[in-house]
A and B are shown apart, each in its own frame.
Chain A
């Protein structure tokens, strides 16, 4: 009966609590990553009880990283209201990360990038499709799958240059007259977005 109680307790406590308590009795490093090391060290310390399941054993295993770099990346480009590209195989994607335009080729290092307003270009053979993104995130996984999510994305020919210029002028003026931090931030966002739209249309 007590054996069951400890097993139930073990299931409810988090893996980190277990790691901390094990750190006192064994010399293991603070963050064991694999279930097998946990199970081995558990058996060394408490051989009579079954080791509890850790959260990672409940998760579906991650898709395996192929041993050779695939020839194309699979892109999933989604918006809240539509899925623009769904598992499309392309040669390269250039995403507008906050740290600059980032080119993603097959075999790219797994990355999570926050995106700034800018152009996303999808290169497939000789075709390039460009979209202007308002902001979002890009997740690049080890198996060369890129998930790009944006709130608003439009092909460049749907943008009206006159409205962009008007907006830029209006927000630059608002930035000059802004008083509170929040107003300044909003005006700055306006200037950033409209300048990005402007350079997207001209560049």
Chain B
């Protein structure tokens, strides 16, 4: 046997299952009809703030409100 099982093409290209699954979900959401599409995309928006720490103190946080783009 070459390997344990036939590796799916996305895993061979270095992608993990969650990345693959999220890409599929995003593509499906982008193909929806209008009121459902905006609801779905709004539901998936993420907002997060990142702050780097140096010398035990947090620096100014950066806020990111990215829409889910892979």
Chain A residues within 8 Å of B, Cβ to Cβ = 81, 117, 132, 134-136, 151-152, 154, 158-160, 163-164, 167, 181-182, 184-186, 188-190, 193-194, 197
Contacts and interface: CB of A to CB of B under 8 A. Distances in A.
B28 A152 contact: yes
Given A184-B13, A185-B9, A135 B30 contact: no
Given A135-B20, A163-B32, A185-B10, 9 more contacts: A135-B24, A151-B21, A151-B25, A152-B29, A158-B32, A159-B32, A164-B31, A185-B14, A189-B20
Nearest to A132: B28
B37 to A, nearest CB: 8
Interface of B: 9-10, 12-15, 20-25, 27-34, 36-37, 40, 43, 70
Contacts of B36: 154, 158
Contacts of B9: 185, 188
A27 to B, nearest CB: 30
Contacts of B37: 160
B22 A81 contact: no
Nearest to A186: B23
Contacts of A164: 31
4 smallest beta-carbon distances between A and B, as pairs: A185-B13, A152-B25, A181-B13, A151-B25
A160 B37 CA distance: 10
A199 B28 CA distance: 14
23 contacts: A117-B28, A134-B25, A136-B21, A151-B21, A152-B25, A152-B40, A154-B28, A158-B32, A160-B31, A160-B33, A160-B37, A163-B30, A164-B31, A181-B13, A181-B14, A182-B15, A185-B15, A186-B23, A188-B10, A189-B27, A193-B27, A194-B27, A197-B28
B30 A167 contact: yes
Nearest to B43: A81
A132 B14 CA distance: 27
A197 B70 contact: no
A159 B28 CA distance: 8
A160 B29 CA distance: 10
A197 B14 contact: no
A154 B24 contact: no
